[in-house]
Structures are given as structure tokens and as C-alpha cells.
């Protein structure tokens, strides 16, 4: 990989230890994937939650922070493994919280935005169309490439911080126009889509696309950015998908032909029975759960308002917890507008700055989780310790409230 | 049988070990217990197998961008595979391997570009050696 003179100086350690460590990581990864150079980024999004970073990740982030590392571009952060405000009341132990707060401190020391959300694009990180970014969080990468028209690879833990410290990322993969062209068409002819359908459609695409970039035609014009957020999250959970062309939504792709560049590619019909198979696969039980989890990825304040409406006049059944996960910013707005109170009157709780899939669910005593998130269902069942149920938000509320 | 396969060497180093062969998208994130090396993912066709010391074959990565840190934790605890071979480039394997070298001084070569159909002739348990520079994967007889 070609380095310019400023980058050579970083490599020699003349610009500090943190930049040297960062550029070593970035160039080794760049060389591995055939990148020709490091290019500037406009923003970064990094991971700093203990459940997935483990002790190794604490070592890495502290090494960056303690050697003087500072983020060179606006940098946001994924949710923590605990609600940073109310963690005690959620049953988190001191020892667990301590490791999470080590990550929080290291991240803050480096100058990151303390948003603690997986939907930074709805909260605080707003690059423009055409800009190159280096984001972790698989669902956010799909949103950046597919809706915002940004260019991002799915930057994974360790490399995310390196790119943020450098303000640079190796040029390869989704940064190159030729790799962004759609290589498989998914056709949707179904009407009256539920919240669960959007997630299952995403999951189906993620499974079927393999390494190809998919294009999805047939979404209703009324589709919301929240629905696309959940669709993309389902896709990224099921496979290596980093972008989905949505004709009419994705910048540069007004039509399927724009997305494929006119090439003839495989076409796959999304049928009701295919979605039924996804639901059956993700749904492992049908009884009353220990926990209902909404908000993987984080719910927007609009979605919290909808949830409050559905819970009106209902009470959670005994023995069932219901947590709605959101960003700290949406939480604040929900608090100020009465939405939080409306949700909590049912016995449900709002939780911010964390999310279900990165919480220590088993350690908190949950053996069964019910959700409308394909991403959460995939992750929880992958770990194999907690059983997961998968149903629409309406079905779930009817099942667990009186 | 095809005793020698040629892919693209992504991360250098040489390794030997028993093959652990998956035909499904694979992830270390929530899918492998770093404290044991055992594959926990219920959708994996190698669930219950241990990745420790194996040459791990899978077609693609999937899911969470935390996969490289789960991988690195497995390395920290000594439960990592000896090498990884994929069909498509799995960036989390590349990053995990690069970090393993820089942080723990461990060499875990990564090769990509070997299609499922080609490596699928290998049975789990077959001994293979590979070179992460040349991308050669050889079945040991």
C-alpha cells in the first residue's frame, strides 16, 4: 500500500505512539485486502461495549487512550453493555459495570461523542451523500451505504478505533464504485407488511445474497426510515451484507437497472412462505417469556410513541419484564414529552445507552426472550443459552399484557 | 480429491492443523465461546466443535462488527484457530488476525478465495497445512 510522507511519519512513530499503532493496524489490514492507499474519512463510529469487546478489547482501547490517542474526526459510539444511568436498578453487578466504565473512560478520553447508540445516523452522526466514513455496527453500515449514500466498509472492532484516530481508512471494498453494483435482485410483491415482515425480509436477503450486493424492489412508497433501519439490521445479522439498493431511495439507484448497471443477475422472489420459514427458524418458543425486548437496533422517539399507544390501558403480566431500548437522546425526549411515562405505566421500562443483544441477558437471569427483532433473535439464538421467541410487536403485547 | 488448493493469501504465516469445515456463514460474535473455543451458534453446521488449533474453513462472515474482538478474546485465552480459510474476504477475520499479531504476537494466517465447492471435498478432521503468503492450502496425506 502506498503511504504519503505524513503517513510515513506516523508509521515511524514521529506523530505519537497511538497514531503509530493505528497506522500499523490500518496498513496491515489494507495490505491484506488489497487496498492501494489510505483515504480521508468524514466520520467514524466505534464499538466500546464490554460484552463483545471482552478483556482483550479493554486492553486495546486503553492502549489507544493511554498512549495519547485522540479521534481525528467526529466519532460516535455504539451502545454500552449496561444502561449507563440506571444500571444498578437493572441488576448489573459492580464488577461488570467497572469493566464497562473502563471502556467509557478510555473512549471519552479520546474525545468521542458520548451518544451510546447503534442508530447514530438518527442522533448525532450525519455525514453527507458521497462521503467516505469508517463505521462499525453492521446495521448502521447498511443504512449509511443504502440510504445516506455514504461509502463505508463494515469496519470491525479494533480497526474502527484505528481509523477514527487516523481520520483515514484503507480504500477497498465498498469504497470502490465497481463493488457497489447490485449482483442479485430480490423482488417483493407482498402487501400489508407488518413490523415483523420488514425484519424477516431483511433476514431473508441477508441469507440469500451471500457476498453479492442485493437490490430490493417492491417496497411500498410509504416505507419509513425506521422500517428500513430494521430491514437492514436483519440483513446484516444474517449475512455479510453491507448495502442494499432500494430503487428510488438509494442515491444513484432510481431503478433496478441503475443498481445492477444493466447486468443480468439472479432474481429471487420474496414469498409469504419464505418469510414464514424465517419466522419459524427464528421463533424457538411460544409461551410467556422472562423478557420482552424491543429496540434492536434502538427505537426512535417515533417508535417509542407508537409503543406507548399500543400499551395504553394494558398491564404487563406477572413475571414478565418488558424493556424498550433507545438512545440517550430519544430517551430524554420521551421523558420530556410524556412518552416514557405512558410506556412505564404498563409496567414496561425504557433503557437507554445499552441494548439487549449486548447485555448480559443470561447473567441477569433471563432464560427466554421475546422480540420482534430478527437481529436480536439471530444473536441470542447463536449464543444458544437463552431461548428466543419472534413475533410482531402487536402479537407480543397481546400475549404478555392483560 | 484435490490435495492442493490455491487461494489468495491475506495475512501471512504458515499453519498446520486439522480442518474444521463449515459450509455456512460463520461468526465469532456470539457464535464461538472465547473461553473454550467451542462453536455455539445454533445455525452453524459445526456447532459443538472446537476451533482451537484447527484450520477453520467457512464461506463468509456474517453479523456483528464485534466479531474481531470475540476472535481477539479467543486469542488472548489461547482458544483461537490456527488459521482461517474463506471463500469471500471476511474482514473481521483479517482484522482479528492483524490485531492478534500486534497485541499478542500470535501468527494466525488468513486465506480467502477458495470456494465452498473446492474446500468442501475436505472432511473435518483431515490434516491440512497452509501458507498465508502464497494462499496455498495443502491436504496432508
Task: Test B43 with A381 for CB contact under 8 angstroms.
Answer: yes
Grid cell digits, residue B18: 486439522
Tell me the chain B residues in contact with residue A202 when contact means C-beta distances shorter than 8 Å.
none
* pLDDT tens sequence across A194-226: 999 999 999 999 999 988 999 999 999 999 999
Which pLDDT belongs to residue B2? 59
* pLDDT tens sequence across A55-67: 999 999 999 999 9
As a whole number of angstroms, the distance between CA A11 and CA A20 comes to 5
Average pLDDT over residues A316-344: 97
Give the nearest chain B residue to A57 (CA atoms). B69
Kindly report the nearest CA distance between residue B1 and chain A, in angstroms. 26
B124 is catalytic: no
Task: Supply the pTM of this predicted model.
Answer: 0.95
Which pLDDT belongs to residue B62? 86
Question: How many CB atoms neighbour CB A194 within 10 A?
Answer: 15
Q: Give percent of chain A above pLDDT 90.
A: 97
Which pLDDT belongs to residue A384? 81
Question: Is 80 exceeded by the pLDDT of residue A371?
Answer: yes
Q: Indicate the average pLDDT of chain A.
A: 97
pLDDT-derived band at A181, boundaries 50, 70, 90 = very high
Domain spans of chain B, in order of start: 4-139
Q: ipTM, 2 decimals?
A: 0.92
Handedness of CA A190, A191, A194, A195 (dihedral sign): positive
Q: What CATH number is given for B4-139 in this structure?
A: 3.50.30.10
Question: Is 60 exceeded by the pLDDT of residue A377?
Answer: yes
- Closest partner residue to A159 (CB to CB) among B10, B42, B95 is B95
Tell me the chain A residues in contact with residue B47 when contact means C-beta distances shorter than 8 Å.
384
As a whole number of angstroms, the distance between CA A273 and CA A279 comes to 10
Q: Where in chain A is the domain with CATH 3.30.499.10?
A: 283-400
Q: Which residues are B131's β-sheet partners?
A: B14
Is cis: bond before A378, omega within 30 of 0?
A: no
CA A159 to chain centre: 17
| CATH C-level class of A5-176 | alpha beta
| CATH C-level class of A283-400 | alpha beta
As a whole number of angstroms, the distance between CA A255 and CA A274 comes to 24
Tell me the chain A residues in contact with residue B68 when contact means C-beta distances shorter than 8 Å.
156-159
Tell me the chain A residues in contact with residue B29 when contact means C-beta distances shorter than 8 Å.
52, 379, 382
Which pLDDT belongs to residue B39? 97
Q: Is A184 on the interface with B (CB under 8 A)?
A: no
Kindly report the nearest CA distance between residue A187 and chain B, in angstroms. 23
- Closest partner residue to B42 (CB to CB) among A33, A207, A384 is A384
Q: Indicate the average pLDDT of chain B.
A: 94
- Closest partner residue to B30 (CB to CB) among A32, A156, A383 is A383
Amino acid at each position: 500500500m502506498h503511504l504519503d510522507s505524513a503517513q510515513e511519519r506516523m508509521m515511524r512513530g514521529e506523530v505519537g505512539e497511538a497514531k503509530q499503532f493505528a497506522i500499523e493496524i490500518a496498513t496491515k489490514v489494507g495490505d491484506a485486502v488489497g487496498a492501494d492507499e489510505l483515504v480521508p474519512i468524514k466520520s467514524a463510529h466505534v464499538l466500546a461495549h464490554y460484552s463483545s469487546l471482552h478483556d482483550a478489547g479493554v486492553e486495546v482501547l486503553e492502549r489507544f487512550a493511554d498512549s495519547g490517542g485522540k479521534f481525528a474526526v467526529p466519532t460516535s459510539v455504539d451502545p454500552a453493555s449496561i444502561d449507563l444511568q440506571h444500571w444498578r436498578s437493572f441488576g448489573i453487578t459492580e464488577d461488570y459495570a467497572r469493566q464497562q466504565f473502563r471502556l467509557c473512560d478510555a473512549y471519552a478520553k479520546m474525545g468521542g461523542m458520548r451518544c451510546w447508540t447503534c442508530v447514530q445516523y438518527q442522533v448525532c452522526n450525519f455525514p453527507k451523500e458521497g462521503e467516505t466514513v469508517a463505521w462499525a455496527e453492521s446495521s448502521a453500515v447498511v443504512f449509511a451505504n443504502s440510504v445516506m449514500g455514504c461509502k463505508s466498509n463494515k469496519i470491525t472492532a479494533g480497526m474502527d478505533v484505528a481509523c477514527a484516530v487516523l481520520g483515514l481508512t484503507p480504500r477497498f471494498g465498498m469504497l470502490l464504485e465497481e463493488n457497489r453494483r447490485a449482483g442479485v435482485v430480490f423482488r417483493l410483491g407482498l402487501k400489508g407488511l407488518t413490523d415483523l415482515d420488514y425484519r424477516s425480509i431483511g433476514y431473508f436477503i441477508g441469507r440469500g445474497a451471500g457476498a453479492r450486493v442485493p437490490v430490493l424492489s417492491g417496497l411500498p412508497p410509504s416505507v419509513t426510515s425506521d422500517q428500513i433501519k430494521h430491514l437492514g439490521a436483519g440483513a446484516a445479522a444474517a449475512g455479510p451484507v453491507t448495502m442494499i439498493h432500494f430503487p428510488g431511495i438509494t442515491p444513484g439507484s432510481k431503478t433496478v437497472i441503475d443498481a445492477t448497471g444493466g447486468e443480468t443477475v439472479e432474481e429471487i422472489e420474496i414469498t409469504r412462505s419464505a418469510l414464514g420459514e424465517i419466522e419459524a427458524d427464528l421463533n424457538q418458543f411460544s409461551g410467556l417469556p422472562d423478557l420482552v425486548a424491543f429496540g434492536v437496533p434502538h427505537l426512535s422517539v417515533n417508535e417509542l410513541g407508537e409503543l406507548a399507544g399500543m400499551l395504553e390501558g394494558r398491564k404487563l403480566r406477572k413475571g414478565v419484564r418488558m424493556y424498550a431500548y433507545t438512545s440517550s437522546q430519544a430517551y430524554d425526549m420521551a421523558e420530556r414529552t410524556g412518552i416514557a411515562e405512558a410506556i412505564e405505566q404498563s409496567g414496561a421500562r425504557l433503557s437507554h445507552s445499552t441494548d439487549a443483544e449486548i447485555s448480559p441477558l443470561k447473567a441477569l437471569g433471563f432464560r427466554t426472550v421475546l422480540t420482534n427483532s430478527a437481529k436480536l433473535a439471530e444473536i441470542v439464538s447463536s449464543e444458544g443459552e437463552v431461548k428466543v421467541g419472534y413475533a410482531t410487536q402487536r402479537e407480543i403485547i397481546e400475549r404478555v399484557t392483560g | 480429491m484435490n490435495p492442493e488448493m490455491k487461494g489468495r493469501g491475506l495475512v501471512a504465516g504458515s499453519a498446520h492443523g486439522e480442518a474444521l469445515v463449515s459450509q455456512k456463514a460463520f461468526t465469532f460474535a456470539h457464535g464461538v465461546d472465547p473461553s473454550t473455543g467451542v462453536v455455539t451458534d445454533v445455525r452453524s453446521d459445526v456447532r459443538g466443535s472446537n476451533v482451537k488449533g484447527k484450520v477453520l474453513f467457512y464461506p463468509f462472515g456474517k453479523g456483528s462488527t464485534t466479531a474481531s474482538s470475540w476472535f481477539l478474546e479467543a486469542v488472548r485465552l489461547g482458544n483461537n484457530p490456527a488459521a482461517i480459510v474463506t471463500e469471500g474476504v471476511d474482514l473481521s477475520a483479517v482484522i482479528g488476525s492483524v490485531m492478534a499479531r500486534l497485541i499478542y504476537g500470535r501468527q494466525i494466517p488468513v486465506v480467502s478465495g477458495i470456494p465452498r465447492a473446492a474446500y468442501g471435498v475436505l472432511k473435518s478432521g483431515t490434516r491440512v497445512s497452509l501458507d498465508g503468503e502464497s494462499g496455498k492450502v495443502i491436504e496432508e496425506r
